[in-house]
């Protein structure tokens, strides 16, 4: 497990509007059997203070996010596949559909980045199209 600086940028597009968020945080990074794992503590800036997040980048084509603590969530983004995930928010839990369009990993044992695009819906109602970029720089 290595210390790392993690930058997460998310862009949501829906109905002509665009919402962009970016978080930079300290965390940890390690190589695992089928990819890489990132861990970090959420802050009040994300609205999930008191939660811990684990991101796994697997086989260069799947991102698994699990959040535990004050808020429990899971989000699986897989190229060309729709997954149903339980997503906790500060206001309660919902089941969301996550249709992965792309996942591109450029991770190495020293860090790197991964990007993904995906669509989220609730009960087949579009919530938005998302672009995600994660950059990892090890100390």
CATH (domain of 129)? 2.40.128.20
How far apart, in whole angstroms, are the C-alpha atoms of residue 2 and residue 8? Answer: 18
Q: pTM score, two decimals?
A: 0.88
Residues 74-124 pLDDT 10s: 999 999 999 999 887 778 888 999 999 999 999 999 999 999 999 999 988
Question: Which residue segment(s) compose the domain that 85 sits in?
Answer: 2-138
Please tell me the number of Cα atoms within 13 Å of 33 on its side-chain side: 0
How far apart, in whole angstroms, are the C-alpha atoms of residue 91 and residue 102? Answer: 29
Please tell me the number of Cα atoms within 13 Å of 69 on its side-chain side: 14
* Total of domains in the chain: 1
């Amino acid at each position: 497990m290595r210390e790392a600086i993690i930058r997460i940028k998310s862009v949501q597009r829906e109905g002509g509007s665009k919402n962009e968020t970016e978080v930079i945080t300290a965390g940890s990074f390690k190589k695992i059997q089928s990819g890489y794992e990132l861990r970090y503590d959420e802050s009040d800036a994300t609205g999930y203070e008191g939660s811990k997040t684990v991101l796994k980048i697997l086989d260069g084509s799947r991102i698994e996010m699990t959040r535990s603590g004050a808020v429990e969530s899971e989000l699986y983004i897989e190229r060309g596949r729709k997954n149903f995930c339980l997503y906790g928010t500060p206001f309660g839990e919902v089941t969301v559909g996550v249709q992965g369009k792309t996942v591109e990993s450029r991770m190495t044992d020293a860090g790197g980045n991964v990007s993904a695009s995906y669509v989220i819906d609730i009960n087949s109602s579009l919530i938005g199209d998302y672009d995600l970029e994660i950059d990892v720089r090890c100390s």
